[in-house]
Amino acid sequence: MVPSNTQWILQIVWLLLLAIPIACVAWTVTHEEIFREPREYCAERSKTCKTLLARKFFYLFTCEYCFSHYVTIFFLILTRYRLLLDDWRGYVIAFFALVAIANVYMSSFARLRQEVKSEKLEAKRKEKELEDADNKDKDKVTLIASSVPPLPTAPRTAREEGILKGL
């Protein structure tokens, strides 16, 4: 049941929660590997179609902001969610509010992914530096060990030789 305009808190909760699947669908279609081939096709068609309308139609599948508008329309029809007003104006307000919140979610997610990727690359770089430093240290130890002559040893006595043979 969609909240009426008198239930402000419930409307805000719906706004914040309904924007999550909108952002999820828009992001998945426009960025994730599962839709890579259709997205590449649409990207190519958005550049090569002869008519402006066709180019714009194919472009909307490559832009998360553009695509989120169409996903929002689908979810508004599905849920009949209205924000602030119970008539058609509530749908218009809900439409723009959902698009805005969904795009905040997608921007936050993109930023988080970028930071995680940067941290992974930084960790790999530091790991490589440590490996290089370890290899240099091993080379130095090997070089030092090969350049140092063996320590002179005293000849064993007959008694030590006998004990060693008995073991």
What separation in angstroms does the CA of 111 have from each of 47, 62, 162? 28, 18, 76
**pLDDT-derived band at 140, boundaries 50, 70, 90:** low
Domain boundaries, the chain: 8-111
Distance CA 157, CA 126 (A): 54
- List, for residues 112-124, the tens digit of each pLDDT value: 989 998 898 998 8
Residue predicted with more confidence, 140 or 1? 140
pLDDT at 85: 85
**pLDDT-derived band at 41, boundaries 50, 70, 90:** very high
Give the residue from 92, 113, 111, 103 showing the smallest Cα distance to 24.
103
Distance CA 9, CA 3 (A): 9
Distance CA 71, CA 79 (A): 12
Q: What is the model's pTM?
A: 0.66
